[in-house]
């Protein structure tokens, strides 16, 4: 009863109610809300603190930035969603807020376009070396449909490509990446697609900020060849995979295009089936037959592995090799 009253008191204030309306549609920073609401940063920060304390918002810190969104779980999640659902669609202030949010998103779009303009050439050169991207996407989606994703984790999400493909098939979906610039691109893309059940986080694939065994499906799409220790990255992914869950790795088969290492920072020139299979076995996963997509100088492979449904073992985080000072 006390928590309910605390939540109701937190929501029963005009500015805080508007903040909930904004955060129901997008993940936002204090600066975003200052721009949207036209109020001072200290005042907005106080409102956010009260909403977080009441469990109506979650706060995720990424370096100097904190991102706010409606919670996915917890006692305040249901109340927050109920309050947002009660906002009348024909209310003029609420409609104006959503229009303002769309206008602010156009500024995000400009930054996204600038980022892609600077990097599109690199990506197009790599894509030209392998089969059509649409074919890869269809193969990945076919595998995802086979294992309904109650909870999806996309490691190395980049611009959120996998989340955009599969987000509507999952109850909840999280993408992680080590590049904050790419995460801003992903956030914009998810907002434009209206995928409120999807979110992105700044994190290292070698030290995922999640408890053991909580995701039903994990994807690693074109990220393993950047890993310093791919076997440890797979072991860390396996740690957060729930019993009966499925890991899908999309990457290149072994090749000799050394320019990818020299020009695009690829750490590994692809992988062979036995190598990936052995890493999965050591991580406690059972591999399935990989699917190979030929076309061009590079062959794309989709490797899949599952954790046994009766496997409830506790996992230890793989040791991270210390770099020399």
Domain with 193 in it: what CATH number?
3.40.50.150
What's residue 113's pLDDT? Answer: 58
Q: Does residue 31 share a domain with residue 81?
A: yes
Q: Is residue 8 part of a domain?
A: yes
- The token duo for 196 is 């409120």
Q: What is the pLDDT of residues 121-155, one digit of tens each?
A: 565 667 667 878 899 999 999 998 887 778 999 99
Q: Is residue 236 part of a domain?
A: yes
CA dist 52 and 60 (Å) reads 11
Q: Does residue 79 share a domain with residue 148?
A: no
Q: Is residue 321 part of a domain?
A: no
What's residue 12's pLDDT? Answer: 92
CATH of the domain at 37: 1.10.10.10
Q: Is residue 106 part of a domain?
A: no
Q: What is the pLDDT of residues 39-61, one digit of tens each?
A: 999 999 999 999 999 999 999 88
Instruction: Specify the residue for token string 């400009």.
Output: 110
Q: Is residue 87 part of a domain?
A: yes
- Residue 244: give the domain boundaries: 129-306
As a whole-number percent, the residues of the chain with pLDDT over 90 amount to 56
Going by the DSSP 8-state scheme, the letter that residue 119 receives in this structure is H
Q: Is residue 119 part of a domain?
A: no
Q: Does residue 243 share a domain with residue 302?
A: yes
Q: Does residue 78 share a domain with residue 135?
A: no
24 alpha carbon, distance to own chain's centre: 17
Contact 304, 290 (CB under 8 A): yes
Q: How many domains does the chain have?
A: 2
Residue 324 reports pLDDT greater than 60: no
Q: Does residue 138 share a domain with residue 65?
A: no
Q: Does residue 151 share a domain with residue 43?
A: no
Q: Does residue 187 share a domain with residue 82?
A: no
What's residue 312's pLDDT? Answer: 62
Q: How confident is the model at residue 7 (pLDDT cuts 50, 70, 90)?
A: confident
Q: How many CB atoms lie within 10 A of CB 273?
A: 15
197-209: average pLDDT: 94
- CA angle, 312 then 318 then 321, to 5°: 180
Q: Does residue 285 share a domain with residue 163?
A: yes
Spell out the alpha helix ranges (H) of the chain: 2-11, 14-23, 30-37, 41-53, 75-86, 92-127, 133-146, 161-166, 180-193, 230-239, 259-264, 273-282
Q: Does residue 248 share a domain with residue 138?
A: yes
Q: Which of 323, 222, 320, 219 is nearest to 265 (CA)?
A: 222
Q: Is residue 112 part of a domain?
A: no
pTM of the model: 0.78
Q: Does residue 172 share a domain with residue 295?
A: yes
CA dist 205 and 227 (Å) reads 9
Mean pLDDT, the chain, whole residue set = 87
Q: Is residue 312 part of a domain?
A: no
Q: Does residue 92 share a domain with residue 155?
A: no
Q: Does residue 138 share a domain with residue 71?
A: no
Angle separating helix axes 2-11 and 75-86, nearest 10 degrees: 40
């Amino acid at each position: 009863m006390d928590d309910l009253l605390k939540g109701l008191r937190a929501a029963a204030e005009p500015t805080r109610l508007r903040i909930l309306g904004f955060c129901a549609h997008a993940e936002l920073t204090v600066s975003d809300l200052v721009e949207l609401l036209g109020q001072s940063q200290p005042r907005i920060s106080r409102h956010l603190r009260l909403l977080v304390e009441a469990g109506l918002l979650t706060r995720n810190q990424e370096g100097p930035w904190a991102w706010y969104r409606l919670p996915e779980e917890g006692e305040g999640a249901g109340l927050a969603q109920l309050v947002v659902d009660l906002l009348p669609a024909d209310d003029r202030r609420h409609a104006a807020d959503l229009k303002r949010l769309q206008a602010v998103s156009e500024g995000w779009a400009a930054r996204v376009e600038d980022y892609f303009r600077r990097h599109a050439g690199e990506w197009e050169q790599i894509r030209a070396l392998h089969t059509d991207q649409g074919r890869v996407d269809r193969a990945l989606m076919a595998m995802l449909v086979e294992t309904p994703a109650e909870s999806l984790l996309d490691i190395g999400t980049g611009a959120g490509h996998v989340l955009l493909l599969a987000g509507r098939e999952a109850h909840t979906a999280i993408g992680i990446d080590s590049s904050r610039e790419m995460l801003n691109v992903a956030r914009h893309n998810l907002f434009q697609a209206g995928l409120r059940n999807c979110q992105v986080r700044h994190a290292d694939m070698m030290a995922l900020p999640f408890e053991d065994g909580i995701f039903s499906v994990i994807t690693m799409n074109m990220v393993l060849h950047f890993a310093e220790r791919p076997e440890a990255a797979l072991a860390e992914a396996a740690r957060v995979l729930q019993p009966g869950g499925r890991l899908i790795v999309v990457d290149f088969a072994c090749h000799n295009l050394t320019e990818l290492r020299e020009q695009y920072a690829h750490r590994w020139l692809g992988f062979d089936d036995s190598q990936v299979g052995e890493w999965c076995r050591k991580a406690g996963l059972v591999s399935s037959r990989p699917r190979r997509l030929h076309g061009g100088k590079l062959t794309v492979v989709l490797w899949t592995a599952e954790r046994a449904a009766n496997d409830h073992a506790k996992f230890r985080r793989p040791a991270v090799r210390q770099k020399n000072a």
